[in-house]
Each structure stands twice: as C-alpha cells, then as structure tokens.
Structure 1
Amino acid sequence: MSDKQFEINVNPDWIKKYLFKIVLVVAAVIVLFSAVKTVGPEEEGVVIQLGEYNRTVNPGLNFIIPFAETMYKIPVQRQLKQEFGFRTSSAGTQSEYVKSGFGDESMMLTGDLNLTDVEWVVQYRIVNSYNYLFKVRNADKTLNDMSEAAMRKIVGDRTVNEVLTVGRQEIATSVEILLQELCDEYENGIRIDQVVLQDVNPPEPVKPSFNAVNEAQQERETLINEAEADYNRVIPRARGIADETIQLAEAYALNRINGARGEAERFNSVYAAYIKAPEVTRQRLYLETLEKVLPKIGNTIITDETGSNVLPLLNLNKAIQNPTP
C-alpha cells in the first residue's frame, strides 16, 4: 500500500464527520434515558423543576425534561417501619436481630425511677408525598426522633411493673396516638399504622430480681384464683342447702298451721252440734272412738274369776278380713 492510499484512509475530515455523529447518538441516548422515568406500582413520582416543586406523577412510564427536572420516587403504597433498640439483620422464616450498639435507644427511666429496656417497632405509611419532601427536612430522621421522644414520655409516666407486665398494650396505644398527633402537627405526610412493643425487659444486672418478683406475683395470682374457685364451689352449695332448709321449715310450719286450724274448726263444729243435742253427740263420739280403737285391740278373751268359762268378746279381725257382703 502506498503512502498516498494510507493518507486517504485516515483522512481527518472523515474521522471528524463520523465522530460527531457518534457523539450525537450517544448524547441522544443519554438524553432519552434521562427523560424517561418508570414509577413502580407502589410509588408516585414527585417532579422538581429547577429546584421547585412542579407536579406529582402516577405509576407507569413518565417523561421529564433532562437536566432541568428531577424526579423523586416515594413509596406511598408500601408499609415502612423503624426499629428501636435492635435492628433486623436478616428477615425470613426465622429472622435474626442485632441488639448490640442500640442500647441508648431502648434504655429508659420509668415513673418510679427504675430503668427498663424497651424495644419497639413503628410501622407507618407516606400518605402525602409533597409534605413528606418539603414540609420537614429529612422526614425519616424526624420521625425517628419523635418516636423515641413519645416512647420516653409515655414510659416515664408509668411504673416499672406496668411497663413490664399489664401496661404494655396501653403503652403501645398511647405512643401511637401521641406520635400521630406529632405527625399531624409537623405536617410531614406520614400516617402511623401501628406501634408494637417488641420486647420489654429490665436491665441485665437486675433481671434475676425482677424475674423473682414476677414469679412471686404469678404465684400470688394463682393462689387467689384457687381461693376464688373454692369460694365459688362451696358458698353456692351452702346457700342452696340453707335455702332448701328454710323452704322445708316454711312448708312444715304451713302444714302444722293449716292442720291446727282444721282441727280447731272441726272441734268448733262438734261443739256446736253438742250444744244442740248433747246425748246424741256424746253417743256418736263414743261410737266413733270405739270404731277407731277396737280394730287395734286384736283378739280379746273374757273369763270369770276361776277361768272355767271362756267368753270371746268380739272377732273383729275376722270381721275386718271377711266383711259381710
């Protein structure tokens, strides 16, 4: 190949011409990729034009002006969380947590001047992208500080026993309400979904003493429950027996009273008849008495002084057994 042919192949004008086209294509690709933004289904895009809010775009394919506009993608449909006193190192079927280095967040002073270690989780959603970005500087860090302040305030109003035992749910609910009030006041565009107390323990040096106190309280509750069970089993039975005895006594008294009244009325009627006909009434009473007494006598034998003559008085038993038709 001659020197002349080589000079034609490496002509500078040819290189400049194609190099310019390549630069234009690369620039067009960069501009195109800068202008096209994809917003996920759980997000919405906030477009900033020359440092000022311009618009909010919905999920899907969207376009912005390159180098003049910037888009921030905000996960408005996703539940977010902040952890205090621990961090999740790996999430899954058996999640793993790291607690070392986060004791300053969880160590708190209760209302009765005792220390307790409170670990909790704040679950929240972003409901207003504009407020989230522009009303508060670094809304996530602000929410973190507000959550810690709210928890310390609520825990500081309660005793250590309430924090460790019966007051846990009440504390979580109170922190959730207070934290939402702070978010509304700050207008940070955040809605609190739930506050969950992950774990509440006394400090390690005094944990054995607290555990002994809890065991004693549980034993006391067990004894109280057993005593109440015995009370509920014995007292109603005793009350039932007492009511039954009272009812039997009242029935016996009523029966005796009615019987006495009946006898009195009968006596009065007999006496009235006696006044009218004394002999007849006396005879009738005598016969009625014999009618009641004689069947109970049995066989009666009458003899004279020497016992030679035997006279049967009556054969009442046979007469009763074989009545005359």
Structure 2
Amino acid sequence: MSDNQFEININPDWIKKYLSRIILIVVAIILIFSTIRTVGPEEEGVVIQLGEYNRTVMPGLNFIIPFAETMYKIPVQRQLKQEFGFRTSSAGTQSEYVKSGYGDESMMLTGDLNLTDVEWVVQYRIVDSYNYLFKVRNAEKTLNDMSEAAMRKIVGDRTVNEVLTVGRQEIATSVEVLLQELCDEYENGIRIDQVVLQDVNPPEPVKPSFNAVNEAQQERETLINQAEADYNRVIPRARGEAEETIQLAEAYALNRVNGARGEAERFNSVFAAYVMAPQVTKQRLYLETLEKVLPKIGNKIITDEQGSNVLPLLNLNKSSVNPAP
C-alpha cells in the first residue's frame, strides 16, 4: 500500500447499532414536534380528530395525537379587517396603498344611475371558532362577498350626491347593520366591529365637475351658517329692544291713566265741596291759583283798584326768587 492510500475498517454491527439509535432519536424528535402545539395568547386551538371536531383548547402548550389530530389556530382576540377597492402594501406612520387591479370591487351604481368609486374597510372579530370553521365553507371569502353585496345594496338605494357628501356616515352605519344581520343568519361566528368608508370619489372622467359641485355646496353651507349666526346675534337683540320699548310704553300709559284718574277724582272732590259751599270753595281755588302763579311772574307791583297808591307789600328792588321763564 502506498503512502497516499489508507484503509478504514468499519464494523457493520457498529454501524447498525448507532444508525438505529439515530433513527430512533429522529423519530422521537418528529413525534415531539408533531405532538406539541403552541396556541398564542390571542388565539384558540380547534382540534380535528380524524376529520371530525373534537375539542377547543386555550392558549398555551397543548398536545395532539400525531397523524390522527389536526389543530387550527383561530385569532379570536384580534381585530381583523378586509379592504375593498385597495390594499395596504406597507403599514406604518405613512402607510402605502395599492389601488390598481381592485376597481371591480369599488365601482358601484347609485340609485340615480351614476357611477361612483367607493373604497371601504370592514373591521371584525371571530367570536365563535366552531361556527367560523364548520358552519360556512371559507368564512373569509364568504364575508368578503357579503360585504361587497351589502355595500352595493345600500349605495344602490342612494343618490350620487348622498354617497359623495352628506350620506357617507349613514351609509357606513347601514352597511354595518346589514352585514351583521347576514353574519347572524349564516352563523359564521363573526361580529362586525365597524365599517369605515375610506374614500368615495366619482369616476375619473367626471371628477373635476363633482369637485366643483362639492365646493359650491360647501360654500353654500358656509353662507348659511354665517347667515344663521347673524340672525342669532341680531334678532334676539332686536326682540329685547322691542320688549323694552313695549314695557316703557305700557309704564307710560299706566302712569298717564293713573294720573288722569287721580285728577278726575280730585276734580270730583272739589266739585262736591263746591256744591256744598260755593263761595268758600271759589275763594280757596283763587288763593291756591295765586300761590302757584305769583312765584313765576318776576317783579311784582301791587296797587289799589284805582292805581293811585302802591301798597308797601313787597320789596320792589329785588327780583323774584323764581323768575318767569
């Protein structure tokens, strides 16, 4: 034998012995990995034994019978979603969306025979894993079809202006209610959390015209709001001023009426006194009138009836305390 050659003697019994051990170890590892299943904290494990439902297991480590049992993990504690008219290509602070290829989902006919492009999201949860797996075949695809049918039905009952402007929230709510009714009828184990209209646009050829209409409607709403604000500011103030004027007029009228009644009562009392004593009453009225008039006529000179003598009654060099106006 040359220097570059060597001979290895292998004992066949040794190979057979260690090979069988290796095979047993590999089989044991395969059995362990095929027996143990880990169910996440937001999941339930549904175990199928020989093609038939057997049990539902909770989160954690669970054991199944290899080759006889199969486990499906259902995310019952997680909110799921389906997108229509677009797909999210990358989620994050600035998510990116892909719209090409999904126009058949979003293009719909409204009740007034106009086309509109409706993009929406259905957020849902799986509340019954058994019904989700066994009551409906391919529950995800069925929910997708039901969502599209519900949206087309609701949009088909509205005008294009309602879909594009004021009716968006009402449409989303109606679709959510209808979709939940369908899920309950199908018993698919799904609860609808929310339906969100992501974007609603007219078809591209008429989009500029619809945008102009929307701007005009928004301007109209702005003007209406401004007019209502002016109305609420001016009208209450005018009503207050009118009420104040009315109250002042009523007070003036009441004062005049009461004054007139007082004067009438005084006149009646004077007339009654005059009837009983005419001369005395006449004298008293004369003196009272002089008492009111004399202070207003300025300087006074009193003479006798013939005007020949001046009576020394008043200080003629001083002006009256209350001169005549």
Whether TM-score is above 0.5 comes out as yes
1:308 CA displacement: 10
1:232 CA displacement: 2.6
Given that 2:299 and 2:318 are in contact with CA atoms closer than 8 Å, whether structure 1 keeps it comes out as no
1:317 CA displacement: 9.4
Of the structure 1 ranges 219-228 and 107-116, higher mean CA displacement relative to structure 2 is found in: 219-228
Residues in 1 aligned to 2:316 and 2:181: alpha-carbon distance in whole angstroms: 107
For 2:240, the equivalent position in structure 1 comes to: 240
Equivalent residue letter for 1:249: A
- Write out per-residue CA displacement over residues 13-68 of structure 1, whole angstroms, 9 at most, x where no aligned residue: 33223222221221111111111111111111111111111111111111111111
Residues in 2 aligned to 1:267 and 1:311: alpha-carbon distance in whole angstroms: 35
1:236 CA displacement: 2.6
Of the structure 1 ranges 185-194 and 294-303, higher mean CA displacement relative to structure 2 is found in: 294-303
Alignment of 1:169-208 (within 5 A): 169-208=169-208
What SS does the aligned partner of 2:105 have?
Answer: helix
For 1:71, the equivalent position in structure 2 comes to: 71
Of the structure 1 ranges 108-117 and 280-289, higher mean CA displacement relative to structure 2 is found in: 280-289
Distance 1:288 1:316, change over 3 A: farther
1:143 CA displacement: 0.6
Distance 1:137 1:302, change over 3 A: closer
Matched, 1:17 2:2: no
What SS does the aligned partner of 1:245 have?
Answer: helix
1:311 CA displacement: 6.1
Of the structure 1 ranges 273-282 and 36-45, higher mean CA displacement relative to structure 2 is found in: 273-282
Matched, 1:271 2:241: no
Equivalent residue letter for 1:104: D
RMSD: 2.5
Of the structure 1 ranges 12-21 and 169-178, higher mean CA displacement relative to structure 2 is found in: 12-21
Distance 1:286 1:317, change over 3 A: farther
Given that 1:299 and 1:314 are in contact with CA atoms closer than 8 Å, whether structure 2 keeps it comes out as no
Q: Percent identity at matched positions?
A: 90
Given that 2:125 and 2:190 are in contact with CA atoms closer than 8 Å, whether structure 1 keeps it comes out as yes
Equivalent residue letter for 1:68: A
Of the structure 1 ranges 260-269 and 101-110, higher mean CA displacement relative to structure 2 is found in: 260-269
1:7 CA displacement: 9.9
For 2:141, the equivalent position in structure 1 comes to: 141
Given that 2:298 and 2:320 are in contact with CA atoms closer than 8 Å, whether structure 1 keeps it comes out as no
Residues in 2 aligned to 1:27 and 1:234: alpha-carbon distance in whole angstroms: 91
TM-score (norm 2): 0.90
For 2:280, the equivalent position in structure 1 comes to: 280
Residues in 2 aligned to 1:284 and 1:302: alpha-carbon distance in whole angstroms: 20
Matched, 1:315 2:321: no
Matched, 1:154 2:144: no
Structure that is richer in helix per residue = 1
Given that 1:108 and 1:117 are in contact with CA atoms closer than 8 Å, whether structure 2 keeps it comes out as yes
Residues in 2 aligned to 1:275 and 1:303: alpha-carbon distance in whole angstroms: 33
Residues in 1 aligned to 2:178 and 2:210: alpha-carbon distance in whole angstroms: 29
Distance 1:10 1:302, change over 3 A: closer
Given that 2:43 and 2:74 are in contact with CA atoms closer than 8 Å, whether structure 1 keeps it comes out as yes
- Write out per-residue CA displacement over residues 98-133 of structure 1, whole angstroms, 9 at most, x where no aligned residue: 111111111111111111111111111111111111
Residues in 2 aligned to 1:8 and 1:148: alpha-carbon distance in whole angstroms: 73
For 1:167, the equivalent position in structure 2 comes to: 167
Matched, 1:261 2:261: yes
Equivalent residue letter for 2:242: A
Of the structure 1 ranges 240-249 and 188-197, higher mean CA displacement relative to structure 2 is found in: 240-249
1:89 CA displacement: 0.6
Residues in 1 aligned to 2:172 and 2:26: alpha-carbon distance in whole angstroms: 56
1:201 CA displacement: 0.9
Distance 1:138 1:320, change over 3 A: same
Matched, 1:98 2:107: no
For 2:228, the equivalent position in structure 1 comes to: 228
What SS does the aligned partner of 2:170 have?
Answer: helix
TM-score (norm 1): 0.90
1:188 CA displacement: 1.0
Equivalent residue letter for 1:40: G
Distance 1:189 1:308, change over 3 A: closer
1:303 CA displacement: 8.3
For 2:49, the equivalent position in structure 1 comes to: 49
Q: How many residues align?
A: 315
Residues in 1 aligned to 2:316 and 2:171: alpha-carbon distance in whole angstroms: 96
